[in-house]
């Protein structure tokens, strides 16, 4: 892979990331816990599910109005909320779909949100593999039906616990895992996960664990 093909990953707070390659930008889950400008400048926006920390209608509308060529791919529950404002630019996807958007190759994996509590109905949730390399599972511990080098790891949520997070990393076996879904953690909590998922913990099976601060970027090269 050449330098021109390198993916730049930027953390935009909580569950949102930006991926940039060859001058094109893809944004996943610009929700209410991420930076206000998270979706601005995007050519492609992917949304995993309808919860407000992943889907903020106002931020999506601003991004779509700023770039008339921008398009959204998401599941039906989100598409139904915003498609009417942007005819032909909001696309509905589900598990097993694969498509190209702005030069990115995208696969859809997963169907349901993780269980928060048996009394809370489960909603739909999809994850996205981008360019066969980076997987964002949304609010689920979906194991994609293919190997991935980079896992965006939901470290903290009302629906998970540390043992599940660690076992998920071991099962997916990525080369590196970058934290997402950390918007409810303070510095003490972040340090705990860095320790437990790092050399001081029980072991990730060889996966490198990295915590990125908001607006911090890293180049993903092979």
Q: Please check whether residue 110 is in contact with residue 91, taking contact to mean a CB–CB distance below 8 angstroms.
A: no
How far is C-alpha 25 from the chain's CA centre?
A: 14
Question: Mean pLDDT score of the chain, rounded to an integer?
Answer: 95
Tens digits of per-residue pLDDT, 3-50? Answer: 447 899 999 999 999 999 999 999 999 999 999 999 999 999 999 999
**What does the alpha-carbon distance between residue 85 and residue 89 come to, in Å, rounded to a whole number?**
9
Q: Locate all alpha helices (DSSP H) within the chain, ordered by sequence.
A: 57-66, 76-82, 162-172, 187-196
Tell me phi and psi for residue 123, to 5 degrees. -110, 170
**pTM given for the model:** 0.96
pLDDT greater than 80 at residue 124? yes
Would you tell me how many other CB atoms lie within 10 Å of the CB of residue 95?
17
- In order of start, what are the domains of the chain with their CATH numbers? 3-220 (3.60.15.10)
Residue range 158-174: mean pLDDT, rounded: 97
């Amino acid at each position: 892979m050449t330098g021109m093909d390198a993916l730049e990953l930027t953390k935009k707070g909580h569950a949102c990331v930006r991926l940039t390659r060859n001058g094109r930008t893809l944004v996943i889950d610009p929700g209410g816990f991420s930076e206000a400008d998270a979706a601005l400048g995007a050519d492609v926006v992917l949304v995993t599910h309808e919860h407000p920390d992943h889907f903020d209608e106002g931020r999506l509308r601003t991004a779509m109005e700023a770039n008339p060529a921008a398009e959204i791919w998401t599941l039906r529950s989100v598409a139904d909320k915003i498609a009417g404002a942007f005819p032909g630019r909001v696309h509905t996807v589900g598990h097993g779909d694969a498509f190209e958007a702005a030069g990115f190759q995208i696969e859809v994996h997963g169907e349901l949100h993780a269980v928060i509590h048996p009394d809370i109905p489960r909603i739909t949730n999809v994850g996205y593999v981008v360019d066969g390399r980076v997987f964002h599972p949304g609010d689920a511990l979906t194991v994609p039906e293919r190997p991935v080098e980079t896992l965006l790891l939901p470290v903290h949520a009302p629906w998970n616990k540390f043992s599940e997070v660690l076992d998920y990393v071991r099962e997916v076996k990525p080369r590196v895992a970058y934290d997402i879904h950390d918007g409810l953690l303070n510095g003490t909590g972040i340090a705990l996960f860095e320790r437990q998922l790092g050399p001081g913990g029980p072991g990730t099976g060889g996966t490198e664990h990295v915590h990125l601060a908001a607006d911090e970027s890293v180049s993903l090269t092979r």
